Structure 1
């Protein structure tokens, strides 16, 4: 009987301990985890493009897209609980000179999910696009106005600054069909214009000032995303593989080659959630190459596409497995040093 009593006593104690640990970890739930959704959704879109170009089974990209949607819902609920129980922490993150730039990963995730569902489930894709585009426009104007009204130090600049403003180039990919070319072109022009400006600022900070902290080094891969996504967006608006399209695609290739050339700088890094910054830019340049092959049917783009897809799948698999291991070790959602 004593053993039974001890077992019953231990179970409530263990439950209370688990709840206490969860409540202690919730305030440190990072907004950067939504980069997981971006990376996995981008891979699903790439696999969908591979299916349409080379054949195979649609089960791969469809199952990944559904799983990523469930992940997005889970992360949204958890961050909503953080907002409900610890609103002061969320406000502090939103006004933090670095963390604030990761909040638009939520709206970009919605836009990417809309792209993923658009070809075979438009009734879901369309509302996702409208919510994502509206939310991202609000983030764009708010964060840009915040830049103007506040004083930032040059060391605060990093490639994550591209996310809120340059992220506008994603909007036209589906938006050109839903709201027309005029509004789609507006978002494209805003994204490309400020990509050029922010690229200059961030490169100046990296070259002439202190190196990025280790946790932010993976964000260098964000350099790949704006021209790669801009290429896809431009083709959706202009329907012409002209000099501008080549310019965007080849700048994307340049940054991809440059960063792969620097692979030793990334290999030595210990795990941070920011590792997910490796993933979506590789997705983007892979999709851009597949689109280039779809238009031109040049073998060069087919070879590049398959090579980039292999690298992308390998990197995402490694990052995903490492993330699961860190979750098991409970090293995620802890207070930053």
Structure 2
């Protein structure tokens, strides 16, 4: 679950970078640089620690692979890899491409493993929780990472659009199905355990990232129109159509954000757990989508929502990071649990 911290801090770093560009605050770029270094260092440190765990406690690692809840958090590894790639724009091209394909392949492996696990094991309704979205959100992150590489290279499309559409389609399909299944479980099934209540925030992430995918995939597609030999007017007409779809998807995310705000008093009564990091990345995804809608559509509505998201994201990341530090100081992290 520590990789959720990389997703949280890395996602916030992406938000800071986006906000600095959108609001033309280039003199504060050092904040983005510092957060990028922190995110990359945290990612590398956790990777080394987890590799050491696999070597020294291989049986415990195998148990996690068979746990109906913990298997969903493995996808945080591939998502973190792709987020680090999006942050590290100065990487050599060959290394960046290798990192992308490694992260994308890892994401596909985790997705196949998790869905296969659901198919071959008897899953009880009470086992379902919003953490099941993590592998799905991971598939939707792949197009963002791929297009970030494509847009850095103005001469050619480095990552084939077909690959990005594959992950986009897969993530979209399972998001819709799981969203319905999890809502039924939450309404008619047992209440979530208290430590998993923060994962309710994950409902915000899929529609936010889906909207981002639509905007980034087809805005980039329009830029590469001469390469693909497509009539420019038809591309921009299609882009306007997809902007509406992205706005509608973001509206779903906005509804869930308002729902989470209405549960504020419930969240304030929770005892700290690493699951608190579930508050962070969905807020980042929400903010990034709002800012991208503002950039491409110019609506003040999305600008204000983006500004709200930046402030909220900063507050949440600060609070969760501070409580994580205190828990580590009290040695309440990495405690054996069932």
Aligned match of 2:222 = none
* Equivalent position of 2:232 in the other structure: none
The separation in 2 between residues aligned to 1:189 and 1:155, in whole angstroms, is 28
1:171 partner SS:
helix
Counterpart in the other structure of 2:198: 218
| 2:269 maps to 1:260 | no
Task: After TM superposition, give the deviation of residue 243 of structure 1 in Å.
Answer: 2.6
CA apart distance, 1:179: 2.0
Correspondent of 2:183 among 198, 203, 226: 203
Match of 1:93 in 2: 64
Contact (CA 8 Å) 2:137, 2:209: kept in 1 or not? no
**Does the alignment pair 1:165 with 2:136?**
yes
Name the CA distance, whole Å, in 2 between partners of 1:50 and 1:101.
30
1:181 is the counterpart of 2:152: no
- For structure 2, the residue ranges without an aligned partner over 5 or more in a row are 151-157, 220-238
Structure 1: unaligned runs, 5 residues or longer: 1-31
**1:22-37 superposed matches below 5 A:** 32-37=1-6
Alpha-carbon distance, 1:128 to partner:
2.5
Q: TM-score, normalised by structure 1?
A: 0.88
How far does the alpha carbon of each residue in 1:8-27 deviate from its partner, in whole angstroms, 9 at most, with x for none? xxxxxxxxxxxxxxxxxxxx
Rounded to whole Å, the distance in 1 between the matches of 2:164 and 2:38 is 29
Measured after TM superposition, the shift of residue 55 of structure 1 is 2.3
- Alignment partner, residue 235 of structure 2: none
**Aligned equivalents of 1:244 and 1:301: distance in 2?**
15
Provide the rounded CA distance (Å) in 1 between the counterparts of 2:140 and 2:92: 20
Which digits, 9 at most, give the CA deviation of each residue in 1:228-249, with x for residues without a partner?
A: 1111111122222533112211
Which of 30, 47, 63 is the matching residue for 2:16?
47
Preserved contact between residue 167 and residue 226 of structure 1 (Cα < 8 Å): no
**Secondary structure in 1 matching 2:271:** coil
Q: Is the 8 A contact 1:114 1:126 kept in 2?
A: no
Deviation of the 1:71 alpha carbon: 0.7
Give the SS at the match of 2:208.
helix
Partner of 2:216: 236
Alignment of 1:148 onto 2:105: no
Aligned partners of 2:318 and 2:30: how far apart in 1? 18
Task: Please give the root-mean-square deviation of Cα atoms over the aligned residues, in Å.
Answer: 1.3
Q: Deviations over 1:48-91 (max 9, x none)?
A: 11111112221111110111111111111111111111100000
Alignment match, 1:13: none
Q: What's the CA shift string for 1:218-262, capped at 9, x where partnerless?
A: 000000000111111111222225331122111111111111111
Per the alignment, residue 322 of structure 2 pairs with 321
Report deviation, 1:311: 0.8
State how far apart, in whole Å, the 1-side matches of 2:309 and 2:243 are: 23
- Tell me the CA shift for residue 196 of structure 1: 0.6
Return the alpha-carbon distance in structure 1 between the equivalents of residues 51 and 4 of structure 2: 17
Shift of 1:144: 0.9
**1:249 to 1:45, Cα distance in 2 relative to 1, 3 A:** same
Q: CA separation in 1, counterparts of 2:8 and 2:261? A: 18
> In the alignment, what sits opposite 1:18?
none
Residue 122 of structure 1 and its aligned partner are, at CA, apart by 5.7
Within the candidate set 122, 126, 135, 2:97 is matched to 126
Contact preservation (8 Å) 2:214, 2:243 = no
Query: CA offsets per residue over residues 151-210 of structure 1, 9 Å max, x none?
Result: 110111000111113420110113243322221111111101110100111111111011
Query: What residue is the counterpart of 1:113 in the other structure?
Result: 84
- CA distance in 2 between counterparts of 1:316 and 1:257 reads 19
Normalised to the residue count of structure 2, the TM-score between the two structures is 0.87
Q: Is the partner of 1:242 in helix, strand or coil?
A: helix
- How many residues get paired? 305
* 1:277-307 CA-partner distances (Å, limit 9, x unpaired): 0000000001111111111222211111111
Which stretch shows the higher mean deviation, 170-179 or 134-143? 170-179
